[in-house]
Amino acid sequence: MENALNELAHSLNTTTTTEGSYFEAILTESGTIEVICSNNTEFPIQVVMTEKQILAVTHLFKTSEVQPDKVAELNTALLELSPLVPLSSTGMQGDNYILFGAMAISTDIKEIVHELEVQAENTIDVLEAIESLLN
What pLDDT digit, counting tens, does each position of 60-105 carry? 999 999 999 999 999 999 999 999 999 999 999 999 999 999 999 9
The DSSP string of 10-75 is HHHHT-B-TTS-BEEEEE-TTS-EEEEETTEEEEEEEEEE-SSEEEEEEEEEEGGGB-GGGHHHHH
Give ∠ CA 80-82-84 in degrees, rounded to 5: 90
The DSSP string of 114-129 is HHHHHHHHHHHHHHHH
For position 25, which CATH number holds?
3.30.1460.10
What pLDDT digit, counting tens, does each position of 108-117 carry? 999 999 999 9
H or E segment to which residue 106 belongs: none
Residue 57 lies in domain: 2-133
Q: Per-residue confidence at 124, pLDDT binned at 50, 70, 90?
A: very high
State the total domains in the chain.
Answer: 1
CA distance 81 to 85: 6
> Could you tell me the pTM of the whole model?
0.95
Average pLDDT rounded to a whole number, residues 120-135 = 97
Give the percent of the chain with pLDDT over 70.
100
